[in-house]
Structure 1
């Protein structure tokens, strides 16, 4: 399978990059084994990061469905906006970019702060997002200070991440730069995920690494419970960057959640709660 195609996409007044791969079903003109038509899936990174720590998951998902990863405006190698953007503005960019690419409906998957962007997009245009996946969601309202979040992230990096996940995250943080990171951090800390999730009509799957101190077990369970149709999956043996360190398990969870179990061909790892 060839790598994803990078496209510069201008939407909602801002410029980002979209990395697109066509799935097996699209290339074959149908689905395997007469199964249901596979929807597209869109992957959204978190604060300071980029599509790079989503590449393993992207590559695996692209074996079954059209897959898109987005570098949001101001992150990765994209141009930095002239001002700080709100969560709602990032959500409008995601929806607008997919509009431009002719993708009307898609499973939306966010990681860390990307779960806020994904939640907001599902609120803005609920008819376009049949399934919402939140990996390592933020911010736990019981730990809504920068110091508490920094401590949790530090513990995660020191004890629960792989060298490759740390390398990807920290090099992206350097590209992002401290000024833009801090400006965006304020936006992240103020977004009330626990309130917003109650308005989402799509089924919601919350995924966390079982060792994740950022999205801890109690917070993740509460968030799944606040959703109208929420589920929690804990993936053993990893921390916050679950989609990189346990990409196969996360891929299988997304496919099963989207009703594509037949395309997976193996037992779903992890412990559904």
Structure 2
């Protein structure tokens, strides 16, 4: 039975962040449908009263999950899709986490900022206008509130509770999600889970290297039988 791909953008980014990679993955695995799903702070500008905690956003996501969904998250939205998979194990056949955050060694704002700066040097300059447009639409104040909520939720407990396999992907120069962190997360997930480091890229690989990302994800999905 064909799967459905459900892609949640990273914090402050637009849903279109996933368009090139999501469409390529869908074609290669014969997905029934690829959906780009924005949420408040993650593709949508929040409204006053929106609960921006990953667990609350995951509940919104679970309410509309199709059967045999493959959930894909990026950066801070990895907490959202992981919690959703934990809440709806019967609906999620596989989980893809790209550059997941919440490494406890970078839990403070100064350490998180330092990792971001070390990664930014490897990002492609052409994405700056895209990021500026996305961040202005979301609102920097809202982004700060969403990040404050996201950095306090540790993804590891949810990973230990999953029944579906997990792929953890990072760009080679991603210092926000270092290689040992991605490997550790994959080791907590069920059999068939794997950590992959792409040959190039930083933290924004869905935008900068959709070809490499889609190759890695599609190959793993086919091999895992998800």
**TM-score, L = length of structure 1:** 0.75
Quote the offset at 1:73 in angstroms: 2.5
- Give the counterpart of 1:90 among 44, 54, 57: 57
1:257: how far off? 2.1
Q: Is the 8 A contact 2:160 2:188 kept in 1?
A: yes
| Superposed displacement of residue 105, structure 1 | 2.2
SS where residue 249 of structure 1 aligns? helix
Q: Alignment partner for residue 45 of structure 1, among 3, 6, 9?
A: 9
Query: How far apart, CA to CA, are the structure 2 residues paired with 1:80 and 1:55?
Result: 25
Q: In the alignment, which residue of structure 1 is the partner of 2:137? A: 175
The answer to whether structure 1 residue 124 and structure 2 residue 91 are counterparts is no
- Residue 71 of structure 1 pairs with residue 47 of structure 2: no
Q: Which runs of 4+ in 1 moved over 3 A?
A: 74-79
Q: Provide the residue aligned with 2:208 in structure 1.
A: 245
The structure with the largest alpha-carbon Rg is 1
Kept in 2, the 8 Å contact 1:43–1:69? The answer is yes
**In the alignment, which residue of structure 2 is the partner of 1:186?**
148
Give the gaps of 5 or more residues in structure 2.
none
Displacement after TM superposition at 1:258 (Å): 2.0
Do the aligned partners of 2:45 and 2:142 also contact (CA within 8 Å) in 1? no
RMSD: 2.0
C-alpha distance in 1 between matches for 2:23 and 2:89? 26
1:80-123 per-position Cα deviation (integer Å, ceiling 9, x unaligned): 2524322111111112233xxxx222111100011100100010
- Corresponding pairs, count: 221
Which structure carries more relative contact order (alpha carbon 8 Å, separation 6+)? Answer: 2
Measured after TM superposition, the shift of residue 260 of structure 1 is 6.7
5+ long unaligned stretches in structure 1 = 1-36, 262-273
Aligned to 1:215: 177
1-structure distance, mates of 2:117, 2:138: 18
Distance in 1 between residues matched to 2:157 and 2:64, nearest whole Å:
26
Q: Does the 8 Å contact 2:41/2:52 carry over to 1?
A: no
Q: Is the 8 A contact 1:107 1:258 kept in 2?
A: no
